[in-house]
Amino acid sequence: MTPPRCLVRGSLNNDEYLHVKNLVRAGETIFSTKYERRAGGKGANQAVAIAKAGGRVDLLGSVGEDGIWLIQYLQAIGVSTDNVSVVETHTGRAMIQVADDGENSIILYPGANFYPLPLPRALDSRYTHLLLQNEVLFSSTQTYLRLSKSCNPPIVSIFNPSPIPSKEQVAQFPWSNLDWLIVNQGEATALCEILTEESILKDTPISEIIAKLCDAPAFYRSTNIICTLGAKGVFAHTLHGTIVVPAASLRGPVIDTTGAGDCFTGFFVAGLLEHSANKISTTLSLPELESILRTSVEAAGICVQRRGTIESIPTRKELTQ
């Protein structure tokens, strides 16, 4: 059997960090106490997390000439970048405010991430899993998702809809081709409101939001849903049932939450890869799922106690120390 391997079709960014006392408000001008440039993009972040968790991973995306350093940086960490193209435009950028309390706000400039790369007719048979986000062209995401189900055997598909797609994109999305949906509570609420055309009250329990989402006519009931809840842990819904896994106990203060979601997603996908070593499966038993989720929240817990995004992602070995 082919060793499990994940293709990440995603973004690569020059991340520019502005450290501030508090997130800027409308009409306000404030000083930044520190500036940093780092590697980022949800595709790159999640690919690195998979690699650091011990998974085999290839990243497919594009950068400009100003982003060649990103390719070299990712290669050194263990991410295969053979499918990263250098194109004639600027590399994508993220302007990230990080407040003293660890909260953040982000403005994205897509740049090369929206460059129309040639679309394949089929996916390489080496891949057992496909991870997608929403920082590249939506048409590309749709194509890769559909191709994942034309393979024999089908490739396990995972989608993290961040930033949240537009109403039109949600309506066009091929939900029946998706095996795993990974969202935070805000994204789950937004998707639910779009697909059900109903407003969700602020204090609605996440279990009710996910139930409404699953009942939406356009949604595919067999899709497994993982919803991260920050300090409250993670809620998971599958055909086998639902489980809640608490957040990890932190050894120190929260410093920077920027990369926590991508860290969680990467470790979760690495867990799927590890579980698929003997048999490729689109779902898991609840005990198997709980084990993967506990590892993922532990990794995210370490991540938020460090600065940066990629730099804050722990290795699998660090989780056992």
Please give the pLDDT value at position 161.
96
Q: Is the pLDDT of residue 152 over 90?
A: no
User: Does residue 124 contact residue 100 with C-beta atoms inside 8 Å?
Assistant: no
The β-bridge relationship of strands 6-9 and 92-99 is: unpaired
66, 100, 215, 262: the catalytic one is 262
Listed in sequence order, the DSSP H helices in 197-307 are 206-215, 260-275, 286-303
Q: Is the pLDDT of residue 1 over 70?
A: no
- The annotation status of 312 as a binding-site residue, yes or no, is yes
What separation in angstroms does the CA of 87 have from each of 17, 40, 133, 320? 25, 18, 20, 41
Does the domain made of 6-12+41-89+114-319 have the CATH classification 3.40.1190.20?
A: yes
- The annotation status of 308 as a binding-site residue, yes or no, is yes
Give bridge partners of residue 62 from the DSSP assignment.
Answer: 85
Q: pLDDT tens for residues 260-290?
A: 999 999 999 999 999 987 777 778 899 999 9
Separation CA 203–CA 209 (nearest Å): 10
- The annotation status of 27 as a binding-site residue, yes or no, is no
Q: Is the pLDDT of residue 203 over 70?
A: yes
Q: Is the pLDDT of residue 48 over 90?
A: yes
- The annotation status of 261 as a binding-site residue, yes or no, is yes
Give me the percent of the chain exceeding a pLDDT of 90. Answer: 81
**Quick check: is 66 catalytic?**
no
Please give the pLDDT value at position 308.
80
Give bridge partners of residue 63 from the DSSP assignment.
Answer: 86
Q: Where are the domains of the chain?
A: 6-12+41-89+114-319
The letter for the amino acid at 249 is: S
Please give the pLDDT value at position 103.
85
Q: Is the pLDDT of residue 202 over 90?
A: no
CB atoms within 10 A of CB 170: 19
CA 119, 80, 154, 131 dihedral sign is negative
